[in-house]
Chains A and B, each alone.
Chain A
Amino acid sequence: MSGAIDAHLAAELAARTSYGRLVAYLAASWRDVAAAEDALADALLAALESWPRAGVPNNPDAWLLAAARRQLIDAARHAKVAASAAPGLELMVAQARRDEVIDAVFPDERLKLLFVCAHPAIDETARTPLMLQTVLGLDAARIASAFLVSPSTMSQRLVRVKARIRDAGIRFEVPDPPELRSRVEAVLEAIYAAYGSGWEDVAGADSRRRGLAEEAVWLGRLVARLLPGEPEALGLLALMLHCEARRPARRDPSGGYVPLSRQEVALWSRPMVEEAEEILVDASRAGQPGRFQLEAAIQSAHARRMVTGQTDWEAIALLYEGLLLCAATIGARVGHAAALAEVRGAEAGLAAIEAIPNESIATYQPYWALRAHLLERLGRDGEAQQAFERAIGLSEDRAVREFLVATSRRPPSGGRSRGQPGRS
């Protein structure tokens, strides 16, 4: 009985710790992600059957790899019979036989897999889900929920994109230097998308991706390790850690939303902030600033409040100016406007958000929340009320909605706005 439980645990452990490595290795040699995943799934099932009887092998990964390869060969044979055309199959079979006894250490091909997932030929919206599935083994339903997509649609998209990788012959390789920069950026962006563009919100209003924050940080650590010396990978990791550090402070004990400016710094995770700071210093040694380092620097400036008790808005506004030069996203523009409002007054902040093109703001909640706060500060209560309504209607998070309802109902005081925009 306990043997069965041990075997179960061993299979689970192998699945969790090695899944991505095994998929990456199989996919890189077979150039077919879907087939690699299917074969590994079968191998894991076989392990659950065999290990309780025969005992857990000394090298579970090698066992799984061998079983998965046999699966791949069988599947390819079937396919050959069915299609009666698979040039080179015999060769692959022979090669696989030779490799059947696999070294305890097989090469880590996850970096190549990450580059495949974020390949320019892959639709941008599919990149993050693909990474989460192939590298972390998350199932389509969980990914679908995190991205607010129907599970059947998500499954279809993943199937389609894997077929595209196979059929287009997208290569499992680390790109050469001229291309490397932009390809790394695509990988980092896909990881950041898993963390949640929600952090650009005034409120972290977009809470639905919160469920993947841990997975994203894990991927961030992985890519920082696989790409040593890549300052932007370090920047992204520092950024995510800074945001994670504030998680305990974002809700009050009764579940109410607490904006960044009112968070108790004592609740921020000091070890995480310190780790983020160290990583950011490491990144800056390369002397190649970039989008993620700047975003991390903005969060680092907020984190200084732990030490100084104050927020240096002047520095934050400057960092946002730098950020706008390399990535003028709507989130960055709204953040910049919020910082300007602190440095040069609500009027300047309002002018900055009014310069944002109309077509991008219709459903962007943080824009309306910031607009409402600034109009309120300027005593333009009627317009403020309208903007509050719009922000409330666009809020997905109940705590944020309730916070905005309460804020919008305050008697006009002309006092300072509560709820500083900026990442919470």
Chain B
Amino acid sequence: MKYTILIYESAADFATRTDEKRKDAYWGAYRAYTQALTQAGVMIGGAGLQPPPRATTIRLRDGKRQVQDGPFAEAKEQLGGYYVIEVPDLDHALDWAARCPAASTGAIEVRPNLSM
């Protein structure tokens, strides 16, 4: 089964990415996590995303385009990246999600992918 691990990070997490003192630990943890996924043979893909202020959101309503700066919804935690993994079942997916560095600071959402 393919699952997507959606990483929701707090504002503090996003700030850590560029904090001179803490950024190495931040990126090091994700590098190690990605490597662990790859070497366990479960990694399908994924991406890290730039912070929410870099987002642009569009909607089409009644034929009218609405474009706004920023993410689609204001929330305490915002999507910071995702992984797609292939594991036998949800239990395994949750095991991997718990190891994601943001699990202890933000939230990790696990969703089964639609098979297409």
Contacts and interface: CB of A to CB of B under 8 A. Distances in A.
Interface in B15-30: 25, 28-29
Interface string A207-228: 0100000000000000000000
Contact of B94 (A149, A362, A392, A402): A149
Interface in A379-395: 388-395
Contacts of B64: none
Contacts, number: 58
B90 interface: yes
A393 B94 contact: no
B104 A398 contact: yes
Contact of A389 (B25, B35, B105): B35
Contacts of A394: 36, 99
A396 B102 CA distance: 10
A302 interface: no
Contacts of A395: 99
Contacts of B103: 396
A392 B32 contact: yes
A405 B28 contact: yes
A390 B39 contact: yes
A148 interface: yes
A393 B25 contact: no
A389 B32 contact: yes
A208 B28 contact: no
Contacts of A391: 32
A405 B29 contact: yes
A153 interface: yes
A362 B90 contact: no
A389 B31 CA distance: 8
B90 A150 contact: yes
Contact of A401 (B29, B91, B94): B29
A397 B104 CA distance: 8
B45 interface: no
A395 B96 CA distance: 10
Nearest to B95: A148
Interface in B43-92: 90-91
B99 A393 contact: yes
Query: Which secondary structure dominates where chain B touches chain A?
Result: helix
A395 B91 CA distance: 17
A363 interface: yes
Given A392-B32, A396-B99, A363 B40 contact: yes
B32 A390 contact: yes
Contacts of B36: 363, 389-390, 392-394
B6 to A, nearest CB: 15
Contacts of B28: 392, 405
A393 B41 contact: no
Contacts of A150: 90, 94
B91 A148 contact: yes
Contacts of A392: 28-29, 32-33, 36
Contacts of A148: 91, 94-95, 98
Contacts of A362: 39-41
Interface in A153-206: 153
Nearest to A408: B28
Nearest to A392: B32
A42 to B, nearest CB: 32
Contacts of B90: 149-150, 153
Nearest to B101: A401
B91 to A, nearest CB: 6
Interface string A360-372: 0011000000000
Nearest to B36: A393
A363 B95 contact: yes
Interface of B: 25, 28-29, 31-37, 39-41, 90-91, 94-95, 98-99, 101, 103-105
30 contacts: A148-B94, A149-B91, A150-B90, A153-B91, A362-B40, A363-B40, A363-B95, A389-B31, A389-B35, A390-B32, A390-B35, A390-B36, A392-B29, A392-B32, A392-B36, A393-B29, A393-B31, A393-B33, A393-B35, A393-B36, A393-B37, A395-B99, A396-B98, A396-B99, A396-B103, A397-B104, A402-B25, A405-B25, A405-B28, A405-B29
Given A393-B99, A394-B99, A396-B103, 14 more contacts: A148-B95, A149-B91, A153-B91, A362-B39, A363-B40, A388-B32, A390-B35, A390-B39, A392-B29, A392-B33, A393-B29, A393-B36, A398-B101, A405-B29
Nearest first, the 8 A-B pairs at minimum CB distance are A393-B36, A393-B32, A392-B32, A398-B104, A393-B33, A389-B32, A362-B40, A396-B98
